[in-house]
């Protein structure tokens, strides 16, 4: 099975690093606003003919909204700049140039640019991002001179060498992320502006090798930016999912046959896998709870008889069901007795997901195949 791993080289951007709370995925959001310009000429700015590169990306932009590029002067006077794209309309993501100014009656030591996502009817600002650029005698721009990989064809687990050369910055960070997840596999940091490093690609497809750089050393806050070059590396997985419904984003471990016990309930089911873990699937919330099979059971009297055509679980399932009211209330009564069977089971390695979460593909007694990201102890 062959999939693609995207390797992204980024032009270096200077941006304000803001600590933000987690934002719901469906809210309008400016995901980044950056510039490859790292210093702006004061004279060029005063003449009004000094272009400043900008890169931006917006998610979930409402229909009746628009992006505005603004310049903020030192007295907080706001100047709306001409759109970097033709026609005055700004697409949700792009690269362009704006032409800020330096009024005769203003003295500044930095240029402050702001991107605003604004509702055209109410004037409400959904989100804003800001860039501060120093002024100087000349304009300087970060330049990505080299970004290369050692091979465009890898087998899962092989080493990949990355070589880079960036001028106009002091440090870089190289990260390996996958499937849109946040920064995960940071290599030793910070790295110099030029260098070579070798690392193992994790068992995830659609992974990105991302180059970040800094005008000032700040390894805790990587700059955001827009990809300017994409290298595609073919990854060959060692094993295939035993069923086509397996998550195509990841390389799995080998499939295995495991002795299991299954019991269906009114609102979900219980699974005991090889006597090690008990899984509880709650259908109403489409969620899982996992407990060790040897977890001490809370003793709590429960004497109600089951309704007609329903069952009270027995053995380990029955002890947990009776001893944990919250589990009992979410599952309801059993709809059939428990059943032992041989489960076909496959999972991603620990390197994929959080420290405790793996994507797991498994069969139920009737041959149904289910796949979920499930956490365990």
54, 33 Cβ separation under 8 angstroms = yes
Phi-psi region of 249 (alpha: psi -120 to 50; beta: other; left: phi over 0): alpha
The residue extents of the domains of the chain are: 13-141, 143-236, 256-375
The model carries a pTM of 0.59
What the block records as the tokens of 99 is: 């032409």
C-alpha span between 239 and 357 (Å, rounded): 20
Position 350 scores a pLDDT of 66
Position 210 scores a pLDDT of 63
Common-topology check for domains 13-141 and 143-236: yes
Position 104 scores a pLDDT of 79
339, 262 Cβ separation under 8 angstroms = yes
The CATH fold of domain 13-141: Immunoglobulin-like (2.60.40)
pLDDT at 19 over 50: no
C-alpha span between 285 and 260 (Å, rounded): 24
Of all residues in the chain, the percent with pLDDT exceeding 90 is 29
* Whether CATH 3.40.1130.10 fits 143-236: no
Q: Is 8 exposed, middle or buried (0-12, 13-18, 19+ CB in 10 A)?
A: middle
User: pLDDT tens digits, residue range 234-286?
Assistant: 778 888 999 999 887 778 899 999 999 999 999 999 999 877 788 899 998 88
């Amino acid at each position: 099975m062959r999939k693609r791993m995207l390797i992204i080289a980024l032009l270096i951007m200077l941006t304000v690093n803001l600590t933000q709370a987690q934002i719901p995925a469906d809210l309008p959001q400016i995901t980044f606003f950056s510039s490859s310009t790292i210093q702006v000429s004061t004279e060029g700015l005063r003449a009004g003919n000094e272009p400043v590169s900008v890169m931006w990306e917006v998610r979930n932009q409402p229909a009746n909204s628009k992006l505005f590029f603004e310049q903020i002067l030192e007295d907080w006077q706001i100047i709306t700049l001409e759109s970097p794209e033709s026609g005055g309309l700004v697409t949700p993501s792009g690269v362009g140039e704006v032409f800020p100014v330096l009024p005769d009656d203003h003295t500044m030591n930095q240029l402050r640019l702001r991107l605003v996502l604004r509702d055209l009817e109410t004037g409400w600002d959904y989100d804003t991002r800001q860039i501060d650029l120093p002024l100087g005698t000349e304009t300087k721009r970060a330049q990505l001179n080299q970004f290369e990989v050692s091979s465009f064809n890898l087998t899962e687990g092989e080493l990949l060498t990355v070589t880079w050369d960036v001028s106009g910055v002091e440090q870089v960070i190289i990260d390996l992320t996958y499937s849109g997840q946040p920064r995960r596999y940071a290599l030793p940091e910070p790295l110099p502006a030029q260098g070579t490093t070798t690392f193992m690609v994790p068992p995830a497809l659609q992974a990105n090798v991302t180059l970040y750089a800094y005008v000032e050393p700040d390894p805790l806050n990587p700059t955001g930016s827009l990809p300017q070059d994409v290298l595609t590396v073919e990854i060959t997985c060692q094993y295939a999912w035993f069923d086509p419904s397996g998550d195509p984003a990841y390389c799995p471990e080998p499939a295995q046959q495991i002795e299991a016990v299954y019991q269906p309930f009114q609102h979900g089911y219980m699974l005991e896998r090889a006597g090690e873990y008990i899984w509880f699937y709650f259908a109403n919330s489409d969620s899982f709870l996992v407990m060790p099979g040897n977890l001490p059971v809370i003793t709590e009297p429960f004497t109600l008889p089951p309704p007609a055509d329903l069952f009270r679980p027995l053995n380990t399932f029955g002890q947990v069901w009776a001893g944990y009211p919250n589990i009992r209330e979410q599952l309801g009564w059993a709809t059939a007795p428990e059943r032992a069977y041989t489960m076909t089971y496959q999972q991603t390695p620990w390197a994929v997901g959080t420290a405790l979460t793996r994507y797991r593909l498994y069969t139920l007694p009737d041959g149904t195949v289910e796949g979920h990201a499930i956490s365990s102890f």
